[in-house]
Structures are given as structure tokens and as C-alpha cells.
Amino acid sequence: MLIKTPSQSLTEQLCNRFAERIRTRLLAPGARLPSVRLCAQQQGVSPSTVVAAYDQLLAQGLIEARRNRGFYVREMVLSPESIARTATNSIANPVAAEGFQASHVPVNATALIRGMFHGSSDQPQPGMGVFPADWLETGFMSTAVRKASSHQALQSYSLNYGEPAGDRGLRQSLSQKLAALNIPASPAQIITTVGATHALDIVSRTLLRPGDYVMVEEPGWAIEFARLAALGMRILPVPRRADGPDLEVMARYCALHSPKLFVSVSVLHNPTGFCLTPGSAHRVLQLANTHNFYIVEDDTYSHLAPDHATRLCALDGLQRTIYVSGFAKILAPGWRVGYLAAPPALVESLLDTKLLATLTTPALLEKALAWCIDQGQLRRHAARIRARLDQARTRSVKLALAQGCTFAAPPAGLFGWVDTGVDTDALAQRMLDEGYLLAPGGLFHAERQPSTLMRINFTSTQDAQFWDAFGRLRAEQ
């Protein structure tokens, strides 16, 4: 609720609220602002206050008025360099009959990430993609860093760039960890990265060229759609079902477009929580072999899933598959340690791409992580997190159902895929007024579209206060 103060009028407060959301992309370019009358009702101010606030936003160039249609967030103005780059991409990469136009990069895709750094309040945030900080607090991580940063250790590796592929000890530990998942990867097939997203980027930059077709599961991770589009790729959205990707759609794409890559989250898919079945996995691998494309399997949530879950890399033995994972979700988001495991024939090319981008990765944190793995600390920590998550999920599901929501997929893992029955883009803006950052369903599509779905984080939706605010504002939609 806006309250007039000696230092700021209601008009200034309302203008600043919308301006901040526009600049942080929580209000995406092209989004429509509430009508003057509706905004006045929602914010508890007079229509004249809203008119004055909108006038200030117009003057700042943040919104535009469309005759007889209302007020809309303006498209961002590109620099001359960006315009030239987009034009080049458009020439080399025309719109496909089936596919996402690569020259159109969804600038709102990073809204959730920006929200992580510009928190709307101190309350638990249902749209976040990470565990709460207090869940990740441990005693062993500081011990691991102390051991890795002893004087003798620092002298041995901090005065040079270290091993190009990453710390040898960590790669040995990761090889053993993958063997437990039935994924055969020697240390020589493993490359450490600055988080799992960096690993995905290395694969894309190595195997793809602007204009190439890439199949990506939909709904899917918004950043992956945006990242590939920014590289000039043509995206082919593959509907994700309970047992795996829609194989008929994949087969049609293969026949029409000869895609070079398929990006999949086989286990605890984000945002649905679905897990791949063996039958579906077998048919995906058949398509890859028949149509000569690679599969990158993003196993970011491996620490939350049972070891026996079906993984494409285990069935394929790292022939047409590339495995990607990291430790930000389960251990330390700030450490940014990830890795990939690849077929031997691709390792040197992937390593060249890594070296061109980062030269090396932080040996100190890699050595500390190896200690956490080898001492069993990470395994025990993950077990505690899974047990705590199971309890949180049970509470969150009960609260969601009590508010009349339904689940579009059986609740599993860290996220719930919830059907609210209303437009979640509009609801997300109202929830921001209450201090809650939502993840509306439209974010998880290659082309953003209205959706009644939203992704919730089970760890941060156990509070009845959030669901009370959700229910009240949903009823106003």
C-alpha cells in the first residue's frame, strides 16, 4: 500500500514502483499496464494520481500510450552495435516455418535472475529457483576451503593457471560420482566449468553455428531459450510430456529441419518435475542416431533425484550424449562450479571453447569441492536436504490445494507446476505489490504467451501468509 510521506508524494512512489519493475524487466517490453481506473483500485489511490504517475513514466521514455488501447512498456532501444548484430543474425537466420525466431531475444527471460539480486522483500520468494540460504548453511564447506587454501596448497596451484580441463582431483571424484549413475566417464572426458549454464554454453558454441536448428523442451528454462536465441540459433520447441519429450514432434522436426542438438532435462524436469521413462529414452536415442544430432542432458537436479532415475547418458554411454551438471542448487550458488562429460572425440574441441572464454576455472573452489565429495560430506548434506524438501513439499501442496489450485504435473523435486486458473503474468504484478516474486508460466515458453500456470518453489511456499495473499489477489483478477 502506498502511503504519502513528506519526502515522496503518492505519484512519485507509484511512478518509481513501475519504473523499477520496467528497468529490472519484471515488467517486460510490450506488457500492458493496468488501466487508470484499475490501477487506482489496486493501489488505493485516486485516478488523478495514476494519470500523473503514468505521465512521468511517459516523460522518462519507459512507457508509451497507444490510442484507445492503454499504456504499454516500451521496447528497449538498442545500441547501434546491437542493431547491426541483430540485422546480421536476421540475414543469416530467417524465420523458420516451425521454430522460434533467433533474432528475437526475449529480454524478460532474465527477470527471475535479476529478482534474485534485487529482492522485492525479505519474505520467502515463491518464484526463486534455489534453496533458501539457511538450508545450505554447513560447517564442512568452510573446512574444505581452509584445507584448499593452506600455504603449501596455494603455492602449488595459485601462482599459475592450473589445468585447462579443471582440477585433476575433482575430475577424478566426478568420474566416480558419474559411475554411480552408470555413466561411464573417465577424468579425461570431464571438463569443469563456471556453473552448469557455462557448460551448456560451451556445448552450444562448440557444436552449433548461427542459423542451426536446436530442439528444446517446452515448457523449459527461460534462460536456455534466450541464450540459444542470442547465439543466433533457430529454436524448435518440443512439448514435454510425463514420460519424456513428444516423440512425434521430434520426428517431424528431424525430417523437416535436420536439427544439430536436442537439449533435455531428463530427471526432475524444470518446471514440471517429470522424469524420463526408459521407453521414451530409447526412442530419443534412436532418433539421434538416425538423424545424426547430439543430445545435451542437463542434470542440474541430480542431487535431488534417485540414482536409478533414467538418464540418456547412462543408456547411450556418452556416444551421442553430453552430460551437464553442477553444484549451485545443492551446495553453494556463489561457488559457480559445474562440469560436463562428453564423448572422447568432442573433448578437445569443447576444451578449446572453454579456454577461449575463461582460460581456466578456480582451482581453489574445485579442490574444496573435491574434498567435500571424497569425504562424503556432500552426499550426507544432499540426503538431509532431500528429507527436508519432502516435508516442505507436503506442506506447500496442501496450502496450494486449499486455495483451489491444481497441479499440472505430480509434485516432485524442488518445483511445483501449478494451475491457478487466472493469467499469472497479471497476477505476478499484483503479487509484487505484496513483496512476492512469482514465476509465471509464460516465462517457460520460447514465445511468451498468456498462461494460467506458474512454477512454485516448495521450500518458499510453506507459509500460509503467501497463499492468503495469493488467494485474495487472484480473486480480484
What is the reported pLDDT for 31? 83
Grid cell 489496486 is found at 42
From the list 300, 223, 233, the residue with the least C-alpha distance to 260 is 233
Q: Is 441 helix (H, G, I), strand (E, B) or coil?
A: helix
**E-strand stretches of 42-138:** 63-66, 70-73
214 DSSP β-pair partners: 235, 261
Burial of 223 (0-12, 13-18, 19+ CB in 10 A): middle
The one-letter amino acid code at 349 reads S
From the list 409, 410, 413, the residue with the least C-alpha distance to 459 is 413
Strands 234-239 and 190-193: unpaired
Residue 116: other Cβ atoms inside 10 A: 14
- CA 266 → CA 18, 56, 104, 314, distances in Å? 38, 48, 27, 11
Q: Is 424 helix (H, G, I), strand (E, B) or coil?
A: helix
From the list 276, 291, 294, the residue with the least C-alpha distance to 240 is 276
CATH of domain 10-73: 1.10.10.10
How far is it, in rounded angstroms, from Cα 362 to Cα 337?
Answer: 8
User: Mean pLDDT, consecutive 10-residue segments, the chain of 477 residues?
Assistant: 82 90 80 89 90 92 90 68 38 40 48 56 83 91 86 62 90 96 96 95 96 96 89 95 97 97 96 96 97 97 90 97 95 90 97 92 90 94 96 97 96 97 91 89 87 96 94 89
What is the reported pLDDT for 115? 56
Instruction: Please report, in angstroms and rounded to a whole number, the separation of the first and last CA atoms in the chain.
Output: 18
**Residues 190, 386, 130: CA angle, nearest 5 degrees:** 70
DSSP structure class, residue 306: -
Name the grid cell of 279: 521407453
The architecture in CATH of the region 137-375 reads 3-Layer(aba) Sandwich (3.40)
Grid cell 538431509 is found at 384
Grid cell 534455489 is found at 130
What is the reported pLDDT for 147? 85
Name the grid cell of 110: 532474465
How far is it, in rounded angstroms, from Cα 299 to Cα 306?
Answer: 12
pTM of the model: 0.85
Strands 415-419 and 453-457: antiparallel
For residues 192 and 166, the answer to whether their CB atoms sit within 8 Å is yes
What is the reported pLDDT for 222? 84
How far is it, in rounded angstroms, from Cα 104 to Cα 247?
Answer: 27
Q: Is 40 helix (H, G, I), strand (E, B) or coil?
A: helix
| Helix 377-402 × helix 140-148 angle, to 10° | 140
| Helix 424-433 × helix 10-23 angle, to 10° | 130
What is the reported pLDDT for 332? 83
What are the two backbone dihedrals, phi and then psi, of residue 113, each rounded to the nearest 5 degrees?
-65, -45
How far is it, in rounded angstroms, from Cα 357 to Cα 185?
Answer: 24
**Residues 9, 15, 16: CA angle, nearest 5 degrees:** 90
For residues 135 and 124, the answer to whether their CB atoms sit within 8 Å is no
What is the reported pLDDT for 89? 38
- CA 238 → CA 98, 100, 272, distances in Å? 11, 11, 14
DSSP code string of 243-291: SSB-HHHHHHHHHHH--SEEEE--SS-TTT-----HHHHHHHHHHHHHH
Residue 426: alpha-carbon gap to chain centroid: 21
Show Cβ contacts of residue 306 under 8 Å, excluding neighbours closer than 6 positions. Answer: none
- Residue span(s) of the chain under CATH 3.40.640.10 come to 137-375
How far is it, in rounded angstroms, from Cα 391 to Cα 395?
Answer: 7
- Residue span(s) of the chain under CATH 1.10.10.10 come to 10-73
